[in-house]
A and B are shown apart, each in its own frame.
Chain A
């Protein structure tokens, strides 16, 4: 019994202690964290105001089906379905749709099937699901596997009279139409082939049951639901530029050049209309078409009765439309029947180019949802500005920015300045008290003032759509938003970048952030500079460059205005600096580029001489193998703001193993198929200043998905092992050895050539989506690795557990060193899930940033949802507990002090009495 306790007991105790570090108490739930749920870019929507429970049902590009509250825009329910392409939603069909003329109901209301919504997803297999739209529950499901999966990618679906039609086009040949009973999945008969040699991918679409193609100046269409299969030709006034679009709700009506055209002879339309977006619905029991256009930031909504093409005056409205939403597109609308028909009961739902969902009612924007947040590509925590009084104090300590001559002031002037600032402070305090002080600035009114621990920050989020948000990291409020239309990510699958050019430290100067992107039209670089606190453009805002950006790097701060210049390498290997006055600081800088496809790396040296910048290629490396079959799938550099507090590791024998801390070390991971080993994954550690390939390691029978994290002297990456079909994590630690080459300055050109490499692999019983290390202000706190899993949880894993030096046999040396004995499988205890039950759907990335407290690290996890929290890897050692008993300690203090005073008094009296005796 005793022996057993000694064998494993202490280690389990250590494990338990380590695990308990990150646990959260029940009353702390949602105290430091919040989650925002998104659905993604709107695809199809149905506004249903006449249901007993008014709702909006929608499907999105992210493969999400959701129901939204009509009044507030909040989610009633949401189902996150399979990922693309398997889960791409092809059709959303809802019954009870106010369009009475055509039968679009998935099932009659009140039928015993219990479903009233139907979705079709994916192509191979295609999944058909029936939903209960009130609860968001799947009632039934069937699937069909197409014979030719490649052709089925282009397949279209439509629904008519309880029958679901599957249309598979074979370009320039024919269409294959198969009909299924919607709720059972049984085929109604054999599939029919419609010969149509004119069909091409670019010119055709499905409008209701009509398959419509453009052929020069005419439309060729076939009604696929009819038995005859008659070809209808409709002449056009002019050849349409751009693609045709279908008008949902009207069978056989398409929009060409902004005009409505009907190919269905039973369906008349108002031909004179010209608009950018249309929607069909009913108003006062009459069918209407609503169209909306944006003119000088004003959204004009108009409507027309379809039967006689007379305008619906009740619905005409003008809505001021903020620029940050982008260009709106009317998606759907509905009007309440019971209202007295004045048009006030109509709700119009718009999707915009900035991926927002905007609901308009009674001439104003009722609510909006920012769905671009479902695709966050970069994020930053920006310090908030100081309160005014602190700011003046700060400027006194440093001297005014920009006037450095006064910095070497004498004592007299320093004293004078102190007196004047204090006088000013007293005056402002007095004015504030009697209520005559200057009004607080907008940011102060919004509560955007730095707190004493630096936990309150502005979270700047850059999204794929080009929309930028300033979000409060404590409350989750959107303080500002910006929209950059017409920008893209870079070549080489690189996203747009968000960088800080000036932090909030330089008080009278405002912080400055910059977005680097590619112009969608000509591929040239675009810079957008803005103030991250207010969201307003600064220093001219948008700047179009006349070259393509290949690589970028930040320079150090200029002395004049504390701006960190951006060094840009263009496609012809010329270097540019923005802002230009920071150019001299680029002298002696090293840059590197990596081509993802050929896996070729090149290093450049930037020189500034005679007022000109030049770059020289100084090294190259080829990771591509013989025929460049290897492709780079991961690049991991260290966080540039990282501080390494401890230079070495104390071993069991009290000697020190020095860490190999090379700030220029970058890890590259390549992958290629292999004849003998199925697939190979290679890891290269490259010093990107000298170009030296320091370490190479290869994995056999291993493939992506890869996540990698690189920090201090270690590296951890996860991958999928094909041989044993599980996810594994390999960790690497680099050491210089028992002596340190140069403890003060690191130079890659004179680096110790071969570090010691410790390595180990672990099994992780989950699918890893992303790895990220925690980071703190001074690097004293332990480093933990945050593991984002495919199921949407974030696990905080101490480095002790990932340590490659965990000894296999428990030796005394390992015990002395504090290493836990090796266990191949990593534990994932529930208490280390930092987002407890707040699952982050489609978790894609985790960003970390230091707070003002050494113990605390700020975390934001992005994906479809957004989750913001903070973690304290070594517990909050520099912060009092929340439930710290201030009253008790004050009572004890007061009691002790008064007690000692009383006792002192008594003692002196006693002494006096004794002396008299």
Chain B
């Protein structure tokens, strides 16, 4: 009995949400990040939280506790084996709806980048998340990790930039400006004042070239005659 109004509320909220989408009245989302540090294990451990108060502005608050020594060791092992570092992101929308995303990158790359990564969040036209990708924007290093790379790690905390990719509106055939252009050209032609901005030679080359040619030919024949 008690559950029913709750369900109805969620249902109504859902209706509202899918009718208008989130972007039309800017909305917030939170993302819980979990990562998997074992190469084969299916379990994910907590990494941090990202809150985006406004999807339109794209500013994000990232809260990530530093990694423990044990976790760092696991990460290094992953890197040594050239395994994937897998990240699970649970997106919570303002209406309470949740969806899960998985993204992966080579653990080695994460170490090379000193635990700096960029979280790309792609949105669909109504503001729902379509995909989350964690990538590094460091210059291209070697694919395989060497011991040196692993030893060089001195960060223990992730530093994450959050970037949002919004959907864009597709172009429509631009008939208006084309018609305007044609109109303008026609009017200009009627008034006979189409300015030709090209240089002298560009404008009159077809008259100059034959003349020059004639001069050359006549010059050549003259020379022969003189001989």
Enumerate chain A interface residues (CB-CB to B < 8 A): 3-4, 6-7, 605, 616-623, 625-627, 629-630, 675, 680, 682-684, 686, 690-700, 721, 728, 730, 741-742, 747, 749-750, 753-754, 757, 759-763, 808-809, 822-825
Contacts and interface: CB of A to CB of B under 8 A. Distances in A.
Given A618-B84, A753-B118, A730 B171 contact: yes
19 contacts: A619-B103, A620-B100, A622-B101, A622-B129, A625-B18, A627-B14, A675-B19, A684-B130, A686-B131, A690-B103, A690-B135, A692-B135, A696-B125, A697-B169, A741-B140, A742-B140, A753-B135, A761-B172, A823-B178
A620 B129 CA distance: 11
A605 B174 CA distance: 44
Contacts of A622: 99, 101, 128-131
B97 interface: yes
Contacts of A754: 165
A691 B167 CA distance: 17
B142 to A, nearest CB: 11
Interface of B: 14, 17-19, 84, 86, 93, 97, 99-106, 109, 118, 120, 122-126, 128-131, 133, 135-137, 140, 143, 165-175, 177-178, 181, 185, 189, 194, 196
Contact of B174 (A3, A675, A697, A808): A808
Counting chain A CB atoms within 10 Å of each CB, the highest count among B17, B103, B105, B170 belongs to B170
Contacts of B99: 622
B131 A619 contact: yes
B181 A682 contact: no
B39 to A, nearest CB: 9
B124 A627 contact: no
A630 B84 CA distance: 31
Contacts of A3: 189, 194, 196
Nearest to A760: B171
Q: Is the interface of B mostly helix, strand, loop or mixed?
A: mixed
Residue of B143, B171, B196 most packed against chain A (CB within 10 A): B171
A625 B124 contact: yes
Given A621-B131, A747-B143, A626 B17 contact: yes
Contacts of A749: 105-106, 109, 135
B181 A808 contact: yes
B196 A6 contact: yes
B125 A693 contact: no
Contacts of B100: 620
A694 to B, nearest CB: 8
A618 B107 CA distance: 13
Contacts of A623: 124, 130
Given A696-B122, A822-B178, 20 more contacts: A7-B185, A7-B189, A617-B102, A618-B103, A619-B101, A626-B17, A627-B14, A682-B125, A690-B105, A691-B104, A698-B124, A698-B169, A728-B173, A747-B143, A749-B109, A761-B170, A761-B171, A761-B172, A761-B174, A763-B173
A680 B178 CA distance: 26
A682 B118 CA distance: 25
Contacts of A698: 124-125, 167-170
Contacts of A618: 84, 86, 102-104
B108 to A, nearest CB: 10
A626 B18 contact: yes
Contact of A626 (B106, B126, B136, B168): B126
A691 B18 contact: no
Contacts of B102: 617-620, 691
A697 B178 contact: no
A620 B133 CA distance: 10
A675 B24 CA distance: 14
10 closest A-B pairs by beta carbon, nearest first, are: A693-B122, A621-B131, A618-B104, A698-B125, A696-B167, A692-B133, A693-B131, A824-B173, A699-B170, A761-B171
